[in-house]
Amino acid sequence: MSVHTTACPRNCYSTCGMRVHVEDGRIRRIEPHPGNRATPEGVCLKGLSYVERIRSRDRILEPLRRTSRGTHEPIGWDEALDEIAHHLTRIRESPGPQSLLYYAGSGTKGLLNGTGLELWRLYGGCTTTYGDLCWPAGLEATRLTLGDNRHSVPWDIARARLILMWGKNAAETNIHQMPFIQEAREAGGRLVVIDPRRTESTESADLWIRPRPGSDGALALAVAGEIIRSGGVDEAFVRERVSGFEEFSHLALEASIDWAADVTDVPSEQLRTMARWIATTRPMTITAGYGMQRYTNAGQTIRAVLALLAITGNVGRPGAGWVYANLQSHIFDEVRDPVACYPPAVPDGIVRVSVSTARLGRDMLDQADPPLRMAWVERGNPLTQNPDTNHVIRAFRALDFRVVVDQFLTDTAREADVVLPAKTMFEQTDVIGAYWHPYLQLRQKVLDPPGQVKPETEIFRLLAPRLGIDPSALDGKIPGVTDAEVEAFLEAKLEPFEGVSLERLREGPVLPPEHEEIAFSNGMFPTPSGRIELVSDEAVERWGVDRLPRYREPDESIRRAEGRARYPLYLMTPNTKNRIHSQFGNLRMIRRIDPGPAVHIHPDDALARGIEAAARVRVFNDRGELRLPARLDSSLKQGCVSVTNGWWIQDGGTVNYCSPGRETDMGHGAAFHDTLVEVEVA
């Protein structure tokens, strides 16, 4: 039996380090790698399900072609690549190479992910997306305030004496954070959880705050005002390291506790308790989820929350800080500004960056000079995961030809004319970073691909000469097909970074050069003023928002007259520990635990609509509808309904039928959560 160092590359906080035991070509055991201090407990249920995933009877093991009946049949690699090349050559001639949409999702991390765009540049160009489904409003708000997206090591939170888990359910979505939080609580620390839903995380809370969805910015401003009134400001820290406090304080003092109680639907006494704890407890860490920054007021909300850390001096100190996105391991990124490459960036004439990820369907249909004629999709399932599913489906069906690279027949793959089988994480070596802990890790090849599966880099190498691209033009851009060539390619990428090599990574996780254990501990912030900025002229110039983090209702809100009458319920679409968005839910191991979608509704909301437990109901708005069984759930805040995201169209639970194709106030994020619905008996 051989033992290999590797790491999980999914779009997940933990990015677990692993030691994988292989015998007779099969994985026999997966255990935690002791070199990753952030993930000592080992992989989650999804990680354990890799044993099934790589050998699933539903896995695609050969190229498939869509038939006239809408099904898919096997074809050979030569036939598949010839057909793809035929269509690519045709559209390159007319209407032009930018009529190809290259859509690359975030389903798996890795340095080799950037090679696809290199092929399309050599092809002559393409159209691609900007923005992100996950976190960009928060990234941009953090950059505007602190100057960079980095945070302290995960285990530092154990030193905190007050932890605010804001819009995050770490017990399900960041499970390795919970032992460090528990360590802090055992040492006398308190935990505040801010979430409209009762979750596994709220069960551990000393104080549970349940705001109306989208109102977190009002909550943060009012608490800041109460801290200022009570004398809880760290005046020395503010004087030395904060810019704009006086102007911000006027805004915060205008936001009374009674006003916020009305806006947020949180009892005023709870808000005062939260403010008192923040004002009198040091050190404090805020660990924020991504849900609250998926509204149209998202960036301003995050700026307001960050202000609580700034005015109390909880930045750059052990046990204190902002845990949102730690990009210290992203050493290969050419640009650290998370939105610098998005419009209005100057186009290079080759890659047209003109399709908003948040408005994918509508923007695809609106492209002109040239219009879109073909799509290549990899590492993503946009028909399920992007907002406004009906428009996304319409846009994909309007294309002449679609190629999808995937391991399974997802909703997007079912729409493809050709489906190419994708590798799993165990079938090609790569180097990956993370966004919660700081480690660089080796995702080491431990198995040969089964059937006719080929890594994406090999697919690009095979396709290139069919497009008239000289193979020598790929050198240094796309690795060769052998394991040795892949490793040589990665070594060349690692060479500029002292202390980072494949040899070191084979032993275990490696900290990146110039890593900070306590973020911003030197008191230096790469902002225009060199300080934490509570007032931002760049926010005005770049995004057209207020220079202060002023509260504004989300575009779709029951407090707006147009929303209240027809669609009075907030649709919440949280993550679940059983899937990563639309991944893993098709596996039998996961299905035993979570067999199908359902809508959770408060009993009082159900009673008002004549809905009984397990009744089949219609969840709908002007954009679309779902038909699901109802689950009466008294732990849910009244006025909200909840369906976990990631269910495939085939399962009947795709929440994005109802979500809007709408961007956040900054960062070009997707404002999924600005979604009101009604529910009725089906």
Coil, strand or helix at 205: coil
Q: How far from each other are the two terminal CA atoms of the chain, in whole angstroms?
A: 55
User: Which run of H or of E encompasses 251?
Assistant: helix 245-254
State residue 561's pLDDT score.
63
Q: At what angle do helices 216-230 and 298-311 cross, to 10 degrees?
A: 20
- Check residue 15 and give left, alpha or beta (phi > 0: left; psi -120 to 50: alpha): left
Given CA atoms 460, 466, 468, 472 in this order, what sign does their dihedral have?
positive
Mean pLDDT of 221-241: 98
The set of residues, in sequence order, having a beta carbon less than 8 Å from that of 195 and lying 6+ positions away, is 165, 167, 168, 169, 201, 202, 208, 209, 210
The number of residues in the chain equals 682
ω into 136 cis (within 30 of 0): no
Please check the confidence at residue 514 and state whether its pLDDT lies above 90: no
d(CA 658, CA 621): 6
Least confident of 238-247, 273-282, 322-331: 322-331
Please name each of the domains of the chain with its CATH number.
2-53 (2.20.25), 64-124+331-432+441-507 (3.40.50.740), 137-328+524-543 (3.40.228.10), 561-681 (2.40.40.20)
Please check the confidence at residue 576 and state whether its pLDDT lies above 60: yes
Q: Cβ distance 646 to 591 under 8 Å?
A: no
d(CA 95, CA 229): 64
Q: Cβ distance 659 to 388 under 8 Å?
A: yes
Q: Which tens digits make up the pLDDT trace of 430-484?
A: 999 999 999 999 999 999 999 999 999 999 999 999 999 999 999 999 999 999 9
Q: Which tens digits make up the pLDDT trace of 646-677?
A: 999 999 999 999 999 999 999 999 999 999 99
Mean pLDDT of 363-391: 97
Averaged pLDDT of the chain: 94
Please check the confidence at residue 335 and state whether its pLDDT lies above 90: no
State residue 341's pLDDT score.
47
Q: Which tens digits make up the pLDDT trace of 19-76?
A: 999 998 889 989 999 999 999 988 898 888 898 999 999 999 999 999 999 899 999 9
Beta strands 100-104 and 640-642, pairing class: unpaired
Place of tokens 């839910």: 585
d(CA 614, CA 598): 9
For the chain, give the percent of residues with pLDDT over 90. 89
Coil, strand or helix at 85: helix
Q: Cβ distance 28 to 21 under 8 Å?
A: yes
d(CA 105, CA 6): 22
User: Which run of H or of E encompasses 238?
Assistant: helix 235-241
State residue 339's pLDDT score.
54
**Better-scored residue on pLDDT, 331 or 71:** 71
Mean pLDDT of 379-389: 96
Place of tokens 């993930």: 39
State residue 334's pLDDT score.
59
Please check the confidence at residue 499 and state whether its pLDDT lies above 80: yes
Least confident of 52-66, 221-235, 541-555, 576-590: 576-590
Least confident of 112-121, 267-276, 295-304: 112-121
d(CA 412, CA 382): 6
d(CA 495, CA 246): 47
Q: Cβ distance 509 to 17 under 8 Å?
A: yes
Please check the confidence at residue 211 and state whether its pLDDT lies above 90: yes
The set of residues, in sequence order, having a beta carbon less than 8 Å from that of 43 and lying 6+ positions away, is 8, 16, 18, 30, 32, 50
Planar angle of CA 590, 596, 598, nearest 5 degrees: 135
Q: Which tens digits make up the pLDDT trace of 337-375?
A: 555 545 544 456 899 999 999 999 999 999 999 999 999
